[in-house]
Every structure is written in C-alpha cells, then in structure tokens.
Amino acid sequence: MLVVMRDHASAEDIQHVVDLLQEAGAEAHLSRGEVKTIIGVIGDREVIYTLDFEGLPGVERVVRVLKPFKLVSRDFQREDTVITVGGSSIGGGAFAVIAGPCSIESEEQMMATAHAVKAAGATMLRGGAYKPRSSPYAFQGMGVEGLKLLRAAGDAVGLPVVTEVLDVRDAETVAGYADILQVGARNMQNFMMLDELGTMDRPVLLKRGLSATIEELLSAAEYVLKGGNRDVILCERGIRTFETYTRNTLDLGAVSALKWLTHLPVIADPSHASGRRDLVAPMSRASVAAGADGLMIEVHPEPERARCDGPQSLTPADFSALMADLGPRIALEDKWLGAGE
Ligand code: PEP
Ligand code: MN
C-alpha cells in the first residue's frame, strides 16, 4: 500500500501516519519529492488493508498496490534515482559507461585497461575477481589479490570500480575494495545475498537472471530496497531464448519497460547479451535509443589472450571508436556522460 500525502504536507501529518503504521506493526518507507511525500507501507497484507488512512490530515489518497514490488516502483517515487560514486553518476540524465575486462588477470592488464577506458570516456571501471564460470574447471578468478589490483587501477585513473560479489560470505571483503557491488545473473534470486546487500552502504548493480521475468527482476531489487539500501542499478544482460547464434538475446523491450516501471537506473550489457564483439557496437547504440541509463562493456587490451570472454571483449581501439560514436547519441537522448571532474 502507498499513502500519498498532499502537496507540501506538514512534517507532523507525515509523522502521524508513520506512527500509526508502526503501531500496527507495519514498516513505513518514505519517498520525499520536492512537493510530495509518498509513504510505502510494508507488512502483513491482512493487517495493512484494515488500516484506514483516507481522510487523515495531510493524506491525499491511499493506493493499494497489487504488484509484488513497491519501493522500486514509479508509483512510490516519481523522480529518477540518481546514484553517485567517486564523482561519477548514473540515473536522472547521467549516463554511465562501465568498462573493463571480464576477469582481473594481472596488474599490467588492469592498468592498461584502466588508462585506455578512462581516456576513451568511460565513467566506471569493471573487472571480476570471483568468476561464476559454467564449468568448475574454468578459471575462477584471482580473489582478494584481484580486488586489490582493480582498486589500484581505478584509483590510478580516478574511476570508481564495480565488481561482483559471488558469495554472501565475501560481501564485506568485496565492499572493502569496490564502490559498487555487482550481483551476477546467476545470483539474481539469491535472496539471502540480496537481504545482506540491503543492509550495506554500497550501491548494488543487479543483473537480470538468465530466465528471469521483468517482474522477478524488480522483486529481487525490492529485497535490497526493503533492507534500507535505496541504491540499485538494474542491468539487462540478455536472456535465454531458443536462439543460439548469439550467446543470449538482448531484451531491449525490457529496458524501455523498466524505465516506466521503476525509478531505478537501468543499464544494458551488450557484451554478455550477444557474446560477440561485432554486435557490441550496434547493440550499444540500440540500448541508448531504448532509454538505457548506461552500458556495461567488456574491454581487454588483448582479447585473444583473455582468460574469460575474449570473443565478446572489445580492444581499447574499438572501445574508443564506439565511445566517439555514442557521445552525440547519448546527448540526443537528453543525457550526459556522468563522469566526474
Ligand atoms: C559479469 O558481468 O562479469 C558476468 C559474469 O555477467 P553475468 O552475471 O551477467 O553473466
Ligand atoms: Mn564476462
């Protein structure tokens, strides 16, 4: 349920509603816009629906929400959520380009990539230290040593860093090095992990599960927001379909639909969606046109030597050409590259 307060409702009126909710055992989550405050109510449906707030001072209307997600919804918060880390922003017109290798492999590889993507205009650096590989025999990542290399490379060029938390037991460790915590597609419905990240003070980049619906993705994000962490970025990274020519199928309709359904920033990952270097540029352009707030793009100084996802990684030169091409398109969508400085 949402309690929509009148424009410029007084602090006392808002507090009165919050007090009544808490007395009834419900949680009140406030969304304070410039003129309007909306109170998201979470708790036992049976109890909530017996509460009658219509007519209370300052209350405009009460909306019963039938969807399984509330706090992530545009009904709860009309304005776009803007997330700023280390001087780079995403959402509300700020466009993020998160670039870097699939996996962190060495200091030279990370430093070379960091300098190249920064020079080309990327706003954040990525790299995986814990790799969720389909085969248990494939390279599993460098772990904490990798996190240190990622942090050092990000600091060297002044870019915030994004990396995946593969296991809830590593969340605190990863948060010690990363600005944004990524939840991989295979962990999208790891609800214990989402609960934990909800209590942490790091933004979460939540990737859509391989076979997850839009509603399941939003419900997964709701877990994080319910825990108190309002900073979640959603990522469309391709879904499983009958098509095998591409690694996955980039669901661009989901990007546009998510922009209507939620106030959270939405990005696309054409690298994992297509699995093919030659499709990364056209799918990046399409993602910008679909309204994405950012892109995640794999870049490797020597893709043919990459330990993971080489076939979909761009060379620094390809990435630089793509960024030059994307600049005016991003501006056409009334967005600006959300880089700091
Ligand atoms: C990644 O971004 O490194 C990754 C493993 O992606 P996904 O979880 O989308 O497969
Ligand atoms: Mn990868």
Angle at CA of residue 219, ends 218 and 223, nearest 5°: 115
Task: Give the domain 2-63 fold.
Answer: Alpha-Beta Plaits (3.30.70)
Full-model pTM: 0.94
Quick one: which atom of ligand 1 is closest to the CA of 269?
9
Q: How confident is the model at residue 185 (pLDDT cuts 50, 70, 90)?
A: very high
Q: How far is the CA of 145 from the centre of ligand 2 (A)?
A: 19
When pLDDT is averaged across residues 66-76 and rounded to a whole number, the result is 91
Q: How far is the CA of 159 from the centre of ligand 2 (A)?
A: 20
- Say if ligand 1 is within 6 A of residue 185 CB: yes
- Say if ligand 1 is within 6 A of residue 132 CB: yes
- Say if ligand 1 is within 6 A of residue 184 CB: yes
When pLDDT is averaged across residues 326-340 and rounded to a whole number, the result is 95
Q: How far is the CA of 308 from the centre of ligand 1 (A)?
A: 11
Q: How far is the CA of 125 from the centre of ligand 1 (A)?
A: 14
Report the C-alpha gap between 168 and 246 in whole angstroms: 31
Q: How confident is the model at residue 46 (pLDDT cuts 50, 70, 90)?
A: confident
Q: Using one digit for the tens of pLDDT, what is the confidence trace for 205-218?
A: 999 999 999 999 99
* pLDDT at 66 > cutoff 80: no
- Closest listed residue to residue 124, CA positions, set 104, 151, 92: 151
- Say if ligand 1 is within 6 A of residue 128 CB: yes
Q: Using one digit for the tens of pLDDT, what is the confidence trace for 74-87?
A: 999 999 999 999 99
Which ligand places an atom closest to the C-alpha of 300? 2
Quick one: which atom of ligand 1 is closest to the CA of 237?
9
Q: Using one digit for the tens of pLDDT, what is the confidence trace for 288-316?
A: 999 999 999 999 999 999 999 999 999 99
Q: Using one digit for the tens of pLDDT, what is the confidence trace for 92-128?
A: 999 999 999 999 999 999 999 999 999 999 999 999 9
When pLDDT is averaged across residues 190-213 and rounded to a whole number, the result is 98
Nearest CA to ligand 1 atom 10: 185
* pLDDT at 187 > cutoff 90: yes
What percent of the chain lies above the pLDDT cut of 90?
92
Q: Give me the residue spans of the domains in the chain.
A: 2-63, 83-340
CA distances from 261 to 7, 82, 141, 324 (A): 23, 16, 35, 31
Higher pLDDT, 31 or 341: 31
Which is it for strands 2-5 and 37-42: parallel, antiparallel or unpaired?
antiparallel
* pLDDT at 195 > cutoff 70: yes
Q: Find the range with the poorest average confidence among 31-35, 180-184, 210-214, 315-319.
A: 31-35
Quick one: which atom of ligand 1 is closest to the CA of 235?
9
Q: Which residue type occupies 230?
A: R
- Say if ligand 1 is within 6 A of residue 239 CB: no
Report the C-alpha gap between 192 and 169 in whole angstroms: 11
Which ligand places an atom closest to the C-alpha of 303? 2
Q: Tell me if 2-63 shares its fold with 83-340.
A: no
Q: How confident is the model at residue 341 (pLDDT cuts 50, 70, 90)?
A: low
Report the C-alpha gap between 27 and 226 in whole angstroms: 9
Which CATH number applies to 83-340: 3.20.20.80, 3.40.190.10, 3.20.20.70, 3.20.20.140? Answer: 3.20.20.70
